[in-house]
Amino acid sequence: MYVCICNAVSESDVHTCVSAGAESIRQVKNACGWKPGCGSCTARLAEAIGRARASAGAQPSAA
Ligand code: FES
């Protein structure tokens, strides 16, 4: 499932970036090569980061 349609970033991509050490929305965007787009995906991205961190055994971060 796509988290960001404008950048074709999937939930799996977010999990990969979080597994590689990205923690914040900014870090995940940088790691995934995010380009400015419509911006409608911020909430979906935050949720995907939370799921990725939870599945990795980390506590969800508000950062
Ligand atoms: S859906 Fe992510 S920038 Fe548009």
- In degrees and rounded to multiples of 5, residue 12 shows phi and psi of -60, -40
Report the pLDDT value the prediction gives residue 4, as an integer from 0 to 100.
95
pLDDT in tens, the chain (63 residues): 899 999 999 999 999 999 999 999 999 999 989 999 999 999 999 999 999 999 987 555 545
Ligand 1 centroid distance, CA of 4 (Å): 5
Report the pLDDT value the prediction gives residue 26, as an integer from 0 to 100.
94
Q: Is 5 in the pocket of ligand 1 (CB under 6 A)?
A: yes
The protein residue with its alpha carbon nearest to ligand 1, atom 4, reads 38
Report the pLDDT value the prediction gives residue 8, as an integer from 0 to 100.
95
Q: Name the packing angle between helices 42-55 and 11-19 (round to 10°).
A: 50
CA 45, 22, 8, 40 torsion-angle sign: positive
CA 54 – CA 49 distance, rounded (Å): 8
